Amino acid sequence: MNIILLGLPGSGKGTQAKMLSMHLNIPHISTGDIFRDILKTESELSKKIKSYVTGGLLVPDNIVSEIVQQRIEQNDCKDGFILDGFPRNINQAEFFKNYLDSKRMKIDSVIYFELPVDLSIKRLSARRHCPVCKRDYNLITQPPKNDELCDICNVKLVKRPDDKLQTVTERIKVYEKETEPLVSYYLKNKLLKKVNADQSIEKVFQDTINLLKNAGYN
């Protein structure tokens, strides 16, 4: 099964993708995670991506598309994949469709996690990250057990540069301009299914599973 997840930053796509990946036994492909791994290197690609990510801007389509294509061609994607963060605009969606057509593949479902903009900003501003074990938290939806300390390492959690308010606001503006049109795009293709993201993580997950089951996927 090949799935695309859509939704405002902070709508829970990453969390749901990880849960779906375990439930369906197919890989979760996050462009954000791929970019962060690349940023740890000193390559020319790393320098290019860094200039966009730190400014809250989207990485150019040609770079993103090439990275995603290479990832999907790996062996662990032979039974399906869950895309989180791609496509981000109509141009990328068209590229991806052409690529899948050339491989005689298709997207089975697009899940859109609906969340109001004000809640998106609130959630993103509450995100924290452990600098040691790299575990992610959210002070609202997934808080640590002890104040702002990592449950595993017991070290102070930090906020990523791309979760600062100014960057968050810019990311949402870019999303509304570039990514929001994908909702209509996939509706026209009769692939889009909506889930209310303003619920508990468990409820959102169960609603998503029910949608997939109703569409004939187990």
Of 18, 135, 160, 194, which residue is the catalytic one?
160
Q: Is 88 tagged catalytic?
A: yes
Whether the Cβ atoms of residue 169 and residue 55 lie closer than 8 Å to each other: no
Of 71, 88, 123, 128, which residue is the catalytic one?
88
Of 13, 71, 123, 128, which residue is the catalytic one?
13
> DSSP letters of 137-150?
EETTTB--SBTTB-
Helix (H) or strand (E) holding 188: helix 181-188
**Cα(first)–Cα(last) distance of the chain, in Å?**
10
State the pairing for strand pair 127-129/109-114: unpaired
The residues, ordered by sequence, that sit 6+ positions from 35 with a Cβ below 8 Å of its Cβ are 49, 53, 59
Q: Is 160 tagged catalytic?
A: yes
Whether the Cβ atoms of residue 26 and residue 74 lie closer than 8 Å to each other: no
C-alpha to C-alpha distances, 109 to 117, 139, 165, nearest whole angstrom: 24, 31, 32
Of 71, 123, 128, 171, which residue is the catalytic one?
171
Whether the Cβ atoms of residue 82 and residue 209 lie closer than 8 Å to each other: no
How does DSSP classify residue 163?
G
C-alpha to C-alpha distances, 1 to 108, 113, 185, nearest whole angstrom: 6, 19, 20
Catalytic residues: 13, 88, 127, 160, 171
